[in-house]
Structure 1
Amino acid sequence: MKERLTDALYGLGWSAVKKLPEPAATGLGRRIADTAWKRRGKGVLRLESNLARVVPDAGPERLAALSQAGMRSYMRYWMESFRLPTWDQERVRHSVHINEVHRLTDGIASDRGVVLALPHMANYDLAGVWVTRALDTPFTTVAERLKPESLYDRFVAYRESLGMEVLPHVGGSAFGTLARRLREGGLVCLVADRDLSASGIEVKFFGETARMPAGPALLAQQTGALLLPVTLWYDDTEVMQGRVHPPVDVPETGTRAEKTSVMTQALADAYATGIAEHPEDWHMLQRLWLADLEEPRA
């Protein structure tokens, strides 16, 4: 029953929110965010706990303000995502500005393949649509299996309608397809700041140990693709900003595992730079650091 309700609510969002006038959708998103923030549920408390690592000198008042801004940013992501299918090409082009984009465009032009790896910041779906429309470049990504299956199907259909090739994340079976796309000179985009599986790579992140996916580093090693970290944020306008960070190179020496560790740490460092500058746009409402995973569940 809970899964069916969740699916129904998302379905209502996609069908109803995109029909609202823009100011009404924006206002609705803010009201939902503020209501959720005031209720102080598990997600809000976890967001605040995570932000305390990012901004260690923040007192209670600043942390509260950051978590409220974080919930508003998170709901802006959802309101934009529900409405993205109605945006025309010009709207998409003028809604995103990517700094140092030459690192991406040069990589695409080189035909060596490019892996974009980014954290859960701002609206990565909007960034993806901008890549497909403004840069006229299709890409492949991976979607985590959701419950119920109908909700997962909604997400896949939604992202495919925006021009993305979406592969299911099941037992690593997507890796081979991603590697083939890269060897063909294609683009792969992966959200890669959280991996709690046994294959996750331990990194130091804001001074504590967390796990992040090995996939981006392994793909770059195996295919020779360019590995580029990206961070995104909202400014005070309607334009979402982004930055393509310097490439993460494959170390010349070391075992495969050692190289993967070094490269994943470099990604974590790039993410930390962007998150520290725009903590309110990092939508991490789940446990991330290993110390939190050891907490007893209520």
Structure 2
Amino acid sequence: MSTLRDRVTDGLYGLGWSTVKKLPEPVAVALGRRIADTTWRRRGTGVLRLEANLARVLPDATPERLAELSRAGMRSYLRYWMESFRLPAWSAQRVRQSVEVKDLHRLTDGLAAGKGVILALPHLANWDLAGVFLTRAMGVPFTTVAERLKPETLFDRFVAYRESLGMEVLPHTGGAAFGTLARRLRAGGLVCLVADRDLSASGVEVTFFGETARMPAGPAMLAQQTGALLLPATLWYDGPATMAGQVYPPVEVPATGTRAEKSAVMTQALADAFASGIADHPEDWHMLQRLWTADLDENRVKR
């Protein structure tokens, strides 16, 4: 049964990449919105989890407001997918016209300094479009890490897709990613990491919207080990045709403390920047999984 489910999942994503990009854009947009609204009305596990997460972001929101936000969140999430299926056909000019980034100089200045830059961001808006903005519109290659998905054929699709957009993609598991990222940074390169959800169960505890969560220690550890600049960034949709972004001031390495203590301080600084962007644009935060420690512990107890 699991094998059959994996094949169906892989086939559906394959259909999206092969078919959606061929649709007229208004048709693809309408299709994405229809799928989003249908999914939202069914009130499945992902939608309920999204609402529970948004309740942490907006603790004073009424049930009606949370439902409104989760519907907008599903539309934003499906917009991400529809755009991503079509990104290989976007020209560099289209990408430039579709993305506006505040304080981009913090990234370009950091790269010009030659010490390497780590760009850390949460699951906001379309991080693949942000990546294409770097590779095609700015001509800046970068290295990233991808969660190893099941089935393996689906993971291979994602890797091939992102590599076709100009990204170097490393698997999250396997042990070699950290060393490769460190080498890229020491050579003055750019590393981009989606860093608001820990996939290893050994992340750093942070306070996130008033509660404990775990976030990956990798960005902070890489910055300490290589001397690279660590820059938080957030994204949001700014109308039907534009995605906006913000690059925050660099996260400094503390002058004192153990490596673990420094990582904790730096990861908390990332969490604070992420929280600022998410609070401003909660409908664009695509977090349909458990994130906070209390929810993860509750899930383990149920099992």
Q: Identify the TM-score tier after normalising by the shorter chain.
A: over 0.9
**Where does residue 278 of structure 1 map in the other structure?**
281
Q: What is the aligned counterpart of 1:204 among 197, 204, 207?
A: 207
Unaligned runs of 5+ in 2: none
SS in 1 for 2:298: coil
**Contact 1:3 / 1:148 at 8 angstroms: preserved in 2?**
yes
SS in 2 for 1:156: helix
Superposition pairs of residues 160-239 of structure 1, within 5 angstroms: 160-239=163-242
SS in 1 for 2:252: coil
**Where does residue 98 of structure 1 map in the other structure?**
101
Q: What is the aligned counterpart of 2:270 among 263, 267, 270?
A: 267
**Where does residue 61 of structure 1 map in the other structure?**
64
Report the Cα offset of residue 172 of structure 1: 3.2
**Where does residue 109 of structure 1 map in the other structure?**
112
**Contact 1:196 / 1:211 at 8 angstroms: preserved in 2?**
no
1:129 aligns with 2:117: no
Q: What is the aligned counterpart of 1:77 among 51, 58, 80?
A: 80
Aligned residues: 298
**Where does residue 24 of structure 1 map in the other structure?**
27
Structure 1 distance, partners of 2:87, 2:137, is 14
Unaligned runs of 5+ in 1: none
Counterpart amino acid of 2:131?
Answer: G
Structure 2 distance, partners of 1:199, 1:223, is 21
1:35 aligns with 2:50: no
**Contact 1:231 / 1:242 at 8 angstroms: preserved in 2?**
yes
**Any idea what the Cα deviations from partners look like across 1:226-272, whole Å, max 9, x if unmatched?**
00001000012411000001110000000000000000000000000
**Where does residue 48 of structure 1 map in the other structure?**
51
TM-score (norm 1): 0.99
SS in 1 for 2:249: coil
Report the Cα offset of residue 196 of structure 1: 4.7
SS in 2 for 1:199: coil
Structure 2 distance, partners of 1:42, 1:211, is 21
Structure 2 distance, partners of 1:138, 1:227, is 17
**Where does residue 243 of structure 1 map in the other structure?**
246
**Any idea what the Cα deviations from partners look like across 1:189-224, whole Å, max 9, x if unmatched?**
000000153321000000000000000000000000
Pair 180,157 (structure 1): closer, same or farther in 2 beyond 3 Å: same
Report the Cα offset of residue 108 of structure 1: 1.0
SS in 1 for 2:83: helix
Most deviating of 130-139 and 2-11: 130-139
Counterpart amino acid of 2:191?
Answer: V
Counterpart amino acid of 1:32?
Answer: I
**Where does residue 143 of structure 1 map in the other structure?**
146
Give the 4+ runs in structure 1 shifted more than 6 A: none
RMSD, aligned α-carbons: 0.9
**Any idea what the Cα deviations from partners look like across 1:62-82, whole Å, max 9, x if unmatched?**
000000000000000000000
- What percent of counterpart residues are identical? 77
